[in-house]
Amino acid sequence: TAEAGLKACATNMRLQNKVALVTGGGSGFGAAICRRFAEEGASVLVVDRDAVAGERTAREIGVTATAPVVIAADVSSPADARRMIQTAVDTFGRLDILVNNAGRAQTPLPFTSTSEDEFDRLFAVNAKAIFLAAQHAVPVMRRQGGGVILNTVSVAAIRPRPNLTAYNSSKGAALVMSKSLAIELAPDNIRVNAICPGPGDTPMLATFVGGDSAAHRAPFLSSIPLGRLTAPL
């Protein structure tokens, strides 16, 4: 029966009774992560600097999941980082999964033409934000007996491209931070992983390639063995 089918699906949900907070959840990979986590049964907190984008993701997943919570926040702000983790605890009583997905792109520029302000902002969003969120999430996870931290890094941390030195460096810092946290937090049953996607068909791509046309994308595509961009699903 239909009811039996729904019950069978529910028992197969890998994230049922879990609480997940996803930064950068308003678009791209973040929105896709929110959708998939909701499909797997998680209660989701959608964090995005753009409240309208966060609400859009919430509407997409709200029809099939526990009503998601939308938090408008700047992940590089210590106060906002504290607030978003506290909101998870206040709302659901716990936090099982922290996804540090929010990121900042860089317009390709020679290293010597990159401003100090841009360098600082890239590191604030792509690296420091992971540090801030984890500092508030880890005590919660320790009290619970464990948890998971997933950091969206980039292939740029492994295979940097020219004219993106500040961005590449910020992602390199995020990768090393992920490795360090994984070692340090393993005894607490807190698993830390870094995900390193290649160029993705997301709103950030136009910044990297200097526009949103096929001609702008062509150089990136030519360097990818499969000849296609990654896609949030």
> Could you give the 3-state DSSP secondary structure of residue 14?
coil
Catalytic residue among 29, 92, 123, 167: 167
Residue 167 falls in the annotated catalytic set: yes
State the alpha helices, DSSP H only, in 71-155. 78-92, 116-123, 129-144
In our burial notation (b when 16+ CB lie closer than 10 A, e otherwise), range 2-39 reads: eeeeeeeeeeeeebeebbbbbbbbbbbbbbbbbbbbbe
At residue 15's C-alpha, the angle toward residues 12 and 16, to 5°, is 75
CA atoms of 205 and 194, how far apart (whole Å):
20
Rounded to a whole number, what is the distance in angstroms from the first to the last CA of the chain? 29
Quote the tokens at residue 148: 């998971």
CA–CA distance from 76 to each of 49, 104, 132, 162, 188 (Å)?
Answer: 10, 11, 8, 26, 26
Active site residues: 167
